[in-house]
Amino acid sequence: MTWQSAVPYNDLPELPPGVEIETRAVLKAAIEARAALAALNQAAKRMTNPTVLINSIPLLEAQASSEIENIVTTADDLFKFAHDESAATNPATKETLKYRTALFAGISLIQARPLSSTTAAQVCTIVKGREMDVRRLAGTYIGNPATQAAIYTPPSGESVIRDKLSNWENFLHQRGGLDPLVTMAIAHYQFEAIHPFEDGNGRTGRIMNILMLMAAGLIEQPILYLSRHIIEKKDKYYRLLLEVTRDGNWEQWILFMLEGIRTTALSTVAKIDQIQALQDETLRMIREATSAANADLLAVLYEQPYCRIANVVERCGVSRPTATNWLNALVLEGVLVDVKSGRERIFINSRFFQLLMSPEIAPEGEPTLF
């Protein structure tokens, strides 16, 4: 039986795909993406304060990934409440912070045991904020948002879904000599095509992508901002997923994902260099503005683009009046901007914030294939 958009796709083929995957174009793109990822990993290691990235990129990743589901929050709110998820009042901000929490939970999970469908269910539970397990009820489908017409209907029946997930899981671990990035791309399609949960499959699948790269030892920290590529090209992302199902067009799908890895890795490398330069400049200004400030102050200002007096007290081991004096001096110098949030003062490292949010620099190299 051929595939039909409104009929549960219980015939979804198992992995590995039964066609040649590593074509010349795929191999070439995989090599380039691997090199970019290695450069990112190295650049992160060179940083004096890598916490900057570990705190900020996952938040931006969370924002981009959640936006695909139309959960739109501001980066402003996200960073403001990064330290304290429970203080966020805006539902979209809460949702997005859950993605970040789920990503970090996923990292701890794969440190304890290999990535599996159990990991996916646990991650999805955090993303959704309620117990999630494999779908038991029929009726889930991907539809056209305007007309509700079915675009794709995933397999139905708990045991069918569990079988397909266990094949997915085996493929992750015995990938048959395929490149790990190619494996990730294939596994991401399959996960979305199985669509194991009632909701949250996109976000969970995008967290799985980062976990796969970490499990393969290709990045040591979750600092690949891959969802930006996906959100910016959301129509293409949807179209190419569908083309694998409908036409077996694996090549374009895999090239799309590899290109995303390459460009996001390279643009983050460029950002790392800019952050480093800005930090050096801030350190000079701190020395001018405050005679006694210690190096920990710089770290606080760059762990997140937002900080509170309490963060400085805690981190630098100084009294509240001293911390306040330092921060006030940096406001006068124009390094920080202070804003009120309820009864509290929040200090924004505005240039750092702008840098994090600025459009990524187009990576150098060959023109892209698309």
Ligand X SMILES: Nc1ncnc2c1ncn2[C@@H]1O[C@H](COP(=O)(O)OP(=O)(O)OP(=O)(O)O)[C@@H](O)[C@H]1O
Q: Which residues here bind ligand X, judged by CB under 6 A? A: 68-69, 142, 151-152, 192-193, 199-203, 205, 238, 241-242, 245
Nearer of residues 123 and 300 to ligand X, judged by Cβ: 123
Binding partner at 152 among ligand X, Mg ion, none, C-beta below 5 to 8 Å by kind: ligand X
Residue 73 beta carbon to ligand X: minimum distance, rounded to whole angstroms? 13
Nearer of residues 76 and 199 to Mg ion, judged by Cβ: 199
Residue 156 beta carbon to Mg ion: minimum distance, rounded to whole angstroms? 17
- Give the C-alpha separation, 363 to 103, whole Å: 26
What is the DSSP secondary-structure string of 138-183? S---EE-TTT--EEE----SHHHHHHHHHHHHHHHH--TT--HHHH
x-marked contacts with Mg ion along 53-72 as a string, rule CB under 5 A = ----------------x---
Nearer of residues 1 and 112 to ligand X, judged by Cβ: 1
Residue 33 beta carbon to Mg ion: minimum distance, rounded to whole angstroms? 28
**Cβ neighbours around 239 below 10 Å, total:** 14
Q: Does 198 bind Mg ion (CB under 5 A)?
A: no
Nearer of residues 95 and 251 to Mg ion, judged by Cβ: 95
Nearer of residues 199 and 296 to Mg ion, judged by Cβ: 199
Residue 351 beta carbon to ligand X: minimum distance, rounded to whole angstroms? 31
Residue 69 beta carbon to Mg ion: minimum distance, rounded to whole angstroms? 5
235 three-class SS: helix
The 8-class DSSP code of residue 69 comes to T
User: Which amino acid is present at 204?
Assistant: T
Task: Determine the residue with CB nearest ligand X.
Answer: 202
Binding partner at 172 among Mg ion, ligand X, none, C-beta below 5 to 8 Å by kind: none
Phi, psi of 72 (to 5 degrees): -110, 120
Q: Which residues of 123-143 are buried (b: 16+ CB within 10 A; e: fewer)?
A: bbbbbbeeebebbeeeebbbe
Nearer of residues 58 and 205 to ligand X, judged by Cβ: 205
Phi, psi of 71 (to 5 degrees): -95, 100
What is the DSSP secondary-structure string of 270-305? HHHHHHHHHHHHHHHHHHHH-SS--HHHHHHHHHSS
Residue 35 beta carbon to ligand X: minimum distance, rounded to whole angstroms? 27
Binding partner at 104 among ligand X, Mg ion, none, C-beta below 5 to 8 Å by kind: none
Q: Does 199 bind Mg ion (CB under 5 A)?
A: yes
Q: 358 is written with which tokens?
A: 């600025």
What is the DSSP secondary-structure string of 3-63? --TTS--TTPPPSSPSS----HHHHHHHHHHHHHHHHHHHHHHH-S-THHHHHHHHHHHHH
Residue 77 beta carbon to ligand X: minimum distance, rounded to whole angstroms? 18
Nearer of residues 69 and 333 to Mg ion, judged by Cβ: 69
Q: Which residues of 1-20 are buried (b: 16+ CB within 10 A; e: fewer)?
A: eeeebeebbeebeebbbeee
Binding partner at 201 among ligand X, Mg ion, none, C-beta below 5 to 8 Å by kind: ligand X
Q: By C-alpha distance, which of 261, 264, 239 is closest to 252?
A: 239
Binding partner at 231 among ligand X, Mg ion, none, C-beta below 5 to 8 Å by kind: none
Residue 68 beta carbon to Mg ion: minimum distance, rounded to whole angstroms? 9
Q: Which residues make up the interface to Mg ion (CB under 5 A)?
A: 69, 199
